[in-house]
Structure 1
Amino acid sequence: MKRLTTLYILLFFAICTQTATAQTKDDDHDLAKKLANPIANLISVPFQNNMDFGIGEFNGTRNTVNIQPVIPFKISDKVNLITRMVLPVVHQENITGLNNIETGTGDMVLSGFFSPSNSKKGLTWGIGPAILLPSASNEFLGTGKFGAGPTFVALKQQNAFTYGLLVNQIWSFAGSGTTDVNQFFLQPFLSYNWKSGAGASAVFEMTHDWNHQSTVLWFTPSINGVTSLGKQKVQLSVGPRFNLAAPTAHKSRYGFRASVSFIFPK
């Protein structure tokens, strides 16, 4: 964990340096604005790492790497299908019990957004299905359930700002898990991008479990920057995580998020 914390600090300074020294580049600015749009017509492969500390009665820690590829498909001249996958890879200690350690994959969520090819006055939206797959390699890291439901995203890009929200609702319908899934997810987001390709963002992530009437709410501000690793375009991002609400047994005292997104412009 100390090595990961050091990596977060180095990434923070790398982004600050890139923000301060980068010259104005229209292509980086355009890529940054597209990445601020969850349903942009752009192939990207983000790896998002979340470190959370002080969880529950045993002062547990959890590290979650979310693998989140986004692949768009052209359905017609007017409609695109934007597919998104989220697969968590988790390592946690002292969460399920003192000295207990679990490592493995969590449940996968696949989403597909049917979206107009062209936005109107910066406003765009997408709607489609969200599918829950029981891909967890450990019973403590997943639900053991197949699930499905609707998902929707709407946003507006105005000058340097992007703001909007993403929602989904998933109900389980099959699987070996003993507890049904009835879960609502809400993600409002706001970002600002400079012409250098650097930016700042703020994201709320709320998950509500209707079966247990419990809510988990995170707030994550971050800074980011688009740069190049050789010929490969990437976006780097880093920031703290604040667990504003959660059941006592699962609440984290503090956390950090860092991510790298590999970008494949058309």
Structure 2
Amino acid sequence: MIKINIKGIISLFFSLFCSLLTFSQSQNVDDITVEEMAKKRQDPVAGLRSVYFQEVLLPVGDGIAQSFSIQPVWPFKLGKNLKLITYTIIPFQSVPGLDQLSHVPIQPTPLQEGGSSSASGLGNILFNGYFSSIEKKGSLSWGVGPAIQLPTRTSPILGSNRVSMGPSFLLSHAGDKLSAGFVVQNYWSLGGEAENKVNSFNFQYFAYYNLPKGWFIESNATVVNNWLADNGDQMLLPLGGGPGKTFKIGKSKLFYCAAAQVFYNVVRPEVVGSWEAVLQFQLIFN
């Protein structure tokens, strides 16, 4: 069970939604079909303003670890042909108690050693910034910038107490039916010892097959490798996917997208189970 202040989270969602909705209604939003938006949102540096709400379920020991995250994506124009896409992951996590819990990977942060007590609360916030060109040539998109993890966790089990940072790079190919790409990053803690020392490699892969009326099939997951863990317990490699749909409600200028995926963990630490489920809902403002 998640022991998080649900009322506080709902209040935060409502405030965030209202502020972004007010901002979006003041913008010039071009007419675009659901099918066109479904393809546009698959480009991570397309410049869309959106907010993701994501739930990850992962068996850990005799329980289920949960990570619910709010993920605002916001672009900024820096020059005639340069933009910055910011992508921030704010996780609220719940971890079952274990006798030995050492660097168990769960998106978006690796869990740290914490003894036998369970824990729930705010995890470490991960900020990603991608510099990219505004003018797109061909079907390829790219972005490069920093990944910065902030020590906002409310329990030692939920992450390091040090700032971690490193480079991040993404490449995406957009097609009419099939789109695919990847994000690769590695970040290190600035100091720290034992469970507070971080050296984490993340490889996110994504592929979409577009169907009529905004439907699509996707495979979107993150391979995590903790270089500091013992041999055999370093990597989490999920393979799988599931359906999704981009849609509108009424005459609103907002778009929405919902998706559900199930993965089999081909490679995993000993304490992690064989499956992983990801549920996602996205608000798209333009």
Alignment TM class, shorter chain as reference: 0.7 to 0.9
> Paired residue for 1:257?
278
Indicate the residue corresponding to 1:7 in structure 2.
Answer: none
**Structure 1 residues 29-38 or 151-160, which shifts more?**
29-38
Secondary structure of the structure 2 residue equivalent to 1:158: coil
TM-score (norm 2): 0.77
Does the 8 A contact of 1:107 with 1:141 survive in 2? yes
Paired with 2:195 and 2:209, the residues of 1 have a C-alpha distance of: 43
> Per the alignment, in what secondary structure is the counterpart of residue 248 of structure 1?
coil
Task: Give aligned-pair identity as a percent.
Answer: 27
1:61·1:94 contact (CA, 8 Å) conserved in 2? no
After TM superposition, the runs of 4+ consecutive aligned structure 1 residues lying more than 6 A away are none
Question: Which of residues 215, 233, 238 is equivalent to 1:198?
Answer: 215
- Residue 92 of structure 2: aligned partner: 89
Aligned with residue 101 of structure 1, among 118, 137, 158: 118
**Does residue 1:234 correspond to 2:237, yes or no?**
no
Query: For residues 131 and 211 of structure 1, what CA distance do their matches in structure 2 show?
Result: 19
CA distance in 2 between counterparts of 1:224 and 1:147 reads 33
Alignment partner, residue 40 of structure 2: 34
Of the three residues 123, 128, 132, the one matched with 2:140 is 123
Structure-1 separation of matches of 2:174 and 2:65: 34
2: CA distance between counterparts of 1:44 and 1:160?
23
- Give per-residue Cα distances to partners, 1:130-177, cap 9 Å, x unaligned: 101011111111111201110000011122211111011101114687
Amino acid at match of 2:123: G
Unaligned runs of 5+ in 2: 2-30, 101-114
Mark the CA change 1:153 to 1:176 in structure 2 (over 3 Å): closer, same or farther. same
C-alpha contact 2:257 2:281 (8 A) present in aligned 1: yes
> Counterparts of 1:82 and 1:181 in 2: how far apart (Å)?
25
Q: Look up the equivalent residue of 1:256 and give its one-letter code.
A: A
CA separation in 2, counterparts of 1:143 and 1:153?
25
Any stretches of 5+ residues in structure 1 without a counterpart? Answer: 2-24
After TM superposition, list the pairs within 5 Å mapping 1:1-266 onto structure 2.
27-53=33-59, 55-56=60-61, 59-95=62-98, 100-174=117-191, 178-212=195-229, 213=231, 214-230=234-250, 231=252, 232-249=254-271, 251-265=272-286
Contact kept, 8 Å, 2:219 with 2:261, in 1: the verdict is no
**Mapped contact 1:144–1:177 kept (Cα < 8 A):** no
1:68 is displaced (CA, Å) by 1.1
TM-score between the two structures when normalised by the length of structure 1: 0.82
- 1:61–1:95 CA contact under 8 A, matched in 2: no
Q: Shift of residue 92 of structure 1?
A: 2.7
Are the aligned partners of 1:146 and 1:175 in contact in 2 as well (CA < 8 Å)? no
Q: How many residues get paired?
A: 238
Pick closer, same or farther for the CA change 1:153–1:65 going to 2, 3 Å.
Answer: same
Partner secondary structure for residue 32 of structure 1: helix
Partners of 1:145 and 1:176 within 8 A in 2? no
Aligned partners of 2:283, 2:34: CA distance in 1, in Å? 13
Cα distance in structure 1, aligned partners of 2:44 and 2:187: 19
SS in 2 for 1:140: helix
Question: Which whole-Å CA distance do the structure 1 matches of 2:56 and 2:162 have between them?
Answer: 24
Write the distance in 2 (CA, Å) between the matches of 1:154 and 1:88. Answer: 25
Q: Which residue of 1 aligns with 2:16?
A: none
Distance 2:275 2:228 in 1: 27
